[in-house]
Chains A and B, each alone.
Chain A
């Protein structure tokens, strides 16, 4: 048996097809989910992919957070269903308060697209079990609103609880506090990050590396072994 992983499309979502491909490359079944539909079609996990949902109007992720599909995602995430938010999906997760903090415009004010080195800080989440803590990976980064921010107390709490999941290495690309590239919730089922693992799953395209595949194999193993 394999796992069913839902990939949500909002109006303006861009990386849904890439994410579906990454899910398939890992060996799972990708299930497209539509923003107007509350029905999660019995998926075992959900990915909120990157893009500019609702044109990023108001604030990135601010409108998507109120879509019908998110009502179900929020409810299920709280009940323990694994949820991964990539880039715009991470922004939706902070807007939904499933993860703390917020994203500001990059400190240099430009869109930035590059291959980014990261350190995986924890292997104790649903999406990082196939990595080892401290492992360095390189995957694409591409955004304009990627500067992670939170108050000092929240940051200290994230550090103390081991909830900083990924940190930028070799140069902070956007001014994110404490070089944070991604975080997890307390239970480890909800993970959000700005860089794009789904663009690094095949040797031929993108960066030519497959460092991002671990996200999708991690969740598949977890679900199949569950």
Chain B
């Protein structure tokens, strides 16, 4: 076979190329021809096909994502925003924190262990590419029905993959989510997040500048795994008629990644790196075109110099491979020797594969022949942009009219008691220890809070106790009922969770998981979600620093619930002031903060007791969220509260159960005036938390709430070894514990 060189392509305009098989649409292929002024070579086609995929180009989502920049609130903390590998925020004392959440949904369904493992690997490389040392990971998950046989295949594999990779990297897993719902049966969501810490001066960016600088590929050899992962796997819906997509899943080696982390950080410390990019989706196609496009010059790459695992790979395959644990650095010529020496110290293979040129072209050579010659911007940044049609689904009104507040409520105290236990024992509300006990939360010795706390928290400075907190939340059921409100509720909950631990919310990352953008119903959900999130971020003053969009989470006609997973990063001056969820001190007073009304749409109660989804989600009140957060932070800082737990799914019943179990103490509760027992226990009104206040601080605390206008209602006291709701029921902790802790092991152990 003749090599398809640039020259050959120009001479043979009529050669048919497999653009459709590689995932390009007809008009997109026409545009490639127009850009190049000729047909692309096979290698160029490979690059355009992966880089213009939905996964890499955000072509359907871009027009909506712009709002995050346009509506971004002024925030002095923001150091690097959307568009880089990950956003960076200033957390004080010269420290900067980078964090991001990404999806690895499609691969994790096809091959749960490797799909989930490489999801962790990818997000961690994004963090180190910014110049930061990774300090923690989190893993928000959505699975099909808990009792479905396929969930028994997917969940244990995903958990083992996240653990197998993250544990071996030495990164504490400090939080996450696990939600079961039949809508995720064929499309589980595996989102992975990571946090990294650096000094301000250590921030690195993905750009290739300075003609003559060398391009060094280092890390694992390139193999045939993950070819087309971004394009044919992540950017299409699943369909029974197509061949298995297993070969498009990458295979991870966490040991190699650990070496890559240490070696990269050592090179950063010696200031050897001009620009850096990790190799994730779209592999070398992405790294070379993005580095060149972001920099001032062009780039010349000798593909023959790429170390291979399989010598039979074609140049197209080398460009498309998504082999893991690889990075690309741009290094000044006089520093190359030292850079290679550091790689050698860590047993990492490193090879100079090209250099920055003073032109503006990306040129790639194979056996001495030019096989790619293009403007890197056209690959990396000027991909297609679609204004997909969208419209409010016809079924939305009927769904909202199906009011959950009209569902039958418990008729007796006995029934109320049974429903509390049923909610606490339901797979979504039950203890996630079966999962989190498979993750190392202690490594690095800085973990202050981890699951099941409201947010994870790690210390980043031993001298001062400076720390950061991260919470991830997203309720697909709320979003299905009202995607605009659902996105705002996701942000509100994560924001509240961060504040509940005593940290000040600073910035947001989001992972937006949706069905097919070609479906106008889904596109409406997406548009409403982004609008809702951007508006709420503006009001709360927490900018979106970056994130990820995962579309095509759809099998046939059935799309998942719109599922925005929102991560909020917070900062705390001294982790000694953190607030845990545990009710640990007998005699302390329990206060319910915020207003409780009859809001059951999308609630855990409506799902567990009635298998119902309808009505409207809880009302959003962002000013109230901000006030509540201020009170929680002040209460923590000034020692007025010893425990706090946000109220969200499962309402007060769930929160009190968790806080009592965590502290090993019971609670005696009374129904306050104006509420009934059922509403008190199960309403999911937003903007609420329950706090445990030492008696000596009661007056100071209630005065503060009164002065600032936050309703604070005394609902009981920490006492005994049961949860007792006066006049209704008594639930011994042992009985609650059995319900709460037995479910997941019963299903998956």
- Cβ of B255 within 8 Å of any chain A Cβ, yes or no, is yes
A110: chain B residues within 8 A (beta carbon): 160, 438
Interface residues of B in 462-519 (CB under 8 A from A): 462, 465
Stretch in A111-119, A162-170, A216-224 touching the partner: A111-119
Interface string of A96-118 (1 = CB under 8 A from B): 00000000000010111110000
Interface residues of B in 401-451 (CB under 8 A from A): 436-448
Task: Decide: A142 near B447, CB < 8 A? Known: A11-B255, A12-B255, A111-B167.
Answer: no
B437 contacts A114, C-beta separation under 8 Å: yes
Task: Decide: A113 near B255, CB < 8 A? Known: A55-B168, A142-B443, A206-B445.
Answer: no
Cα(A11)–Cα(B402), bound, Å? 59
Least CB distance, A47 to chain B, in whole angstroms = 14
Stretch in A13-21, A69-77, A124-132, A152-160 touching the partner: A13-21
- Cβ of A4 within 8 Å of any chain B Cβ, yes or no, is no
Contacting residue for A55 out of B255, B444, B445, CB 8 A:
B255
Stretch in A175-183, A186-194, A196-204 touching the partner: A196-204
Q: Which of B169, B256, B446 has the most CB of A within 10 A?
A: B446
Contacting residue for B445 out of A17, A111, A113, CB 8 A:
A17
Cα(A55)–Cα(B749), bound, Å? 26
A12 contacts B445, C-beta separation under 8 Å: no
A15 contacts B170, C-beta separation under 8 Å: yes
Task: Decide: A21 near B442, CB < 8 A? Known: A52-B255, A55-B254, A114-B437.
Answer: no
Contacting residue for A113 out of B160, B437, B444, B465, CB 8 A:
B437
A113 contacts B254, C-beta separation under 8 Å: no
Least CB distance, B454 to chain A, in whole angstroms = 17
- Cβ of A205 within 8 Å of any chain B Cβ, yes or no, is yes
A17: chain B residues within 8 A (beta carbon): 444-445
Task: Decide: A52 near B438, CB < 8 A? Known: A204-B459, A205-B445.
Answer: no
Identify the closest chain B residue to A199 (Cβ): B442
Interface string of A1-28 (1 = CB under 8 A from B): 0000000000110110110011000000
A15 contacts B443, C-beta separation under 8 Å: yes
Identify the closest chain B residue to A207 (Cβ): B442
A206 contacts B442, C-beta separation under 8 Å: yes
A52 contacts B445, C-beta separation under 8 Å: no
B442: chain A residues within 8 A (beta carbon): 113, 140, 142, 196, 199, 206-207
A51: chain B residues within 8 A (beta carbon): 170
Number of A residues contacting the other chain (C-beta, 8 Å)? 32
B443: chain A residues within 8 A (beta carbon): 14-15, 18, 142, 199
Least CB distance, B585 to chain A, in whole angstroms = 15
- Cβ of B601 within 8 Å of any chain A Cβ, yes or no, is no
Task: Decide: A111 near B170, CB < 8 A? Known: A21-B445, A55-B253.
Answer: no
Least CB distance, A83 to chain B, in whole angstroms = 21
B164: chain A residues within 8 A (beta carbon): 111
B163: chain A residues within 8 A (beta carbon): 111
A205 contacts B255, C-beta separation under 8 Å: no
- Cβ of A57 within 8 Å of any chain B Cβ, yes or no, is yes
- Cβ of B337 within 8 Å of any chain A Cβ, yes or no, is no
B36: chain A residues within 8 A (beta carbon): none
Interface residues of A in 54-80 (CB under 8 A from B): 54-57
Identify the closest chain B residue to A201 (Cβ): B445
A198 contacts B445, C-beta separation under 8 Å: yes
Least CB distance, A91 to chain B, in whole angstroms = 14
Task: Decide: A112 near B255, CB < 8 A? Known: A51-B170, A204-B459.
Answer: no
Cα(A211)–Cα(B502), bound, Å? 27
Interface residues of B in 711-734 (CB under 8 A from A): none
Least CB distance, A111 to chain B, in whole angstroms = 5
Least CB distance, B372 to chain A, in whole angstroms = 35
Least CB distance, B171 to chain A, in whole angstroms = 9
Least CB distance, A197 to chain B, in whole angstroms = 11
Contacting residue for B168 out of A52, A108, A140, CB 8 A:
A52
B576: chain A residues within 8 A (beta carbon): 204
- Cβ of B667 within 8 Å of any chain A Cβ, yes or no, is no
- Cβ of B358 within 8 Å of any chain A Cβ, yes or no, is no
B347: chain A residues within 8 A (beta carbon): 11
B168: chain A residues within 8 A (beta carbon): 12, 14, 52, 55-56
Cα(A85)–Cα(B575), bound, Å? 30
Cα(A17)–Cα(B445), bound, Å? 8
A204: chain B residues within 8 A (beta carbon): 448, 459, 465, 575-576
Least CB distance, B194 to chain A, in whole angstroms = 16
Identify the closest chain A residue to B462 (Cβ): A21
Cα(A112)–Cα(B437), bound, Å? 5
Identify the closest chain A residue to B436 (Cβ): A113
- Cβ of B106 within 8 Å of any chain A Cβ, yes or no, is no
B446 contacts A205, C-beta separation under 8 Å: yes
Identify the closest chain A residue to B445 (Cβ): A18
Least CB distance, A211 to chain B, in whole angstroms = 13
Q: Which of B443, B465, B575 has the most CB of A within 10 A?
A: B443
- Cβ of B739 within 8 Å of any chain A Cβ, yes or no, is no
A11 contacts B346, C-beta separation under 8 Å: yes
- Cβ of B258 within 8 Å of any chain A Cβ, yes or no, is yes
Least CB distance, B176 to chain A, in whole angstroms = 14
Least CB distance, B41 to chain A, in whole angstroms = 38
- Cβ of B259 within 8 Å of any chain A Cβ, yes or no, is yes
A113 contacts B258, C-beta separation under 8 Å: no
Least CB distance, B674 to chain A, in whole angstroms = 39
A12: chain B residues within 8 A (beta carbon): 168, 255, 258-259
A198: chain B residues within 8 A (beta carbon): 445
Least CB distance, B745 to chain A, in whole angstroms = 11
Contacting residue for A112 out of B438, B444, B446, B447, CB 8 A:
B438
B440: chain A residues within 8 A (beta carbon): 111, 113, 142
Least CB distance, A55 to chain B, in whole angstroms = 3
B259: chain A residues within 8 A (beta carbon): 11-12
Cα(A204)–Cα(B438), bound, Å? 23
A14: chain B residues within 8 A (beta carbon): 168-170, 258, 443
A199 contacts B445, C-beta separation under 8 Å: yes
Identify the closest chain A residue to B263 (Cβ): A11
A11: chain B residues within 8 A (beta carbon): 255, 258-259, 346-347
A207: chain B residues within 8 A (beta carbon): 442
A113: chain B residues within 8 A (beta carbon): 167, 436-442
Cα(A55)–Cα(B565), bound, Å? 32
Cα(A54)–Cα(B253), bound, Å? 11
Identify the closest chain A residue to B167 (Cβ): A111
Identify the closest chain A residue to B441 (Cβ): A113
Cα(A140)–Cα(B441), bound, Å? 9
B256: chain A residues within 8 A (beta carbon): 55
A112: chain B residues within 8 A (beta carbon): 437-438
Least CB distance, B460 to chain A, in whole angstroms = 12
Cα(A140)–Cα(B443), bound, Å? 10
B160: chain A residues within 8 A (beta carbon): 110-111
B167 contacts A205, C-beta separation under 8 Å: no
Least CB distance, B262 to chain A, in whole angstroms = 8
Cα(A12)–Cα(B254), bound, Å? 9
Task: Decide: A206 near B437, CB < 8 A? Known: A113-B442, A142-B167.
Answer: no
A55: chain B residues within 8 A (beta carbon): 168, 253-256
Identify the closest chain A residue to B262 (Cβ): A11
Known A108-B749, A114-B437, A140-B442; further 4 A-B contacts with Cβ < 8 A: A14-B168, A21-B462, A142-B442, A205-B446
List 8 contacting pairs A-B, 8 Å CB cutoff, sorted by A.
A11-B346, A12-B168, A17-B444, A52-B168, A52-B255, A56-B168, A110-B438, A207-B442
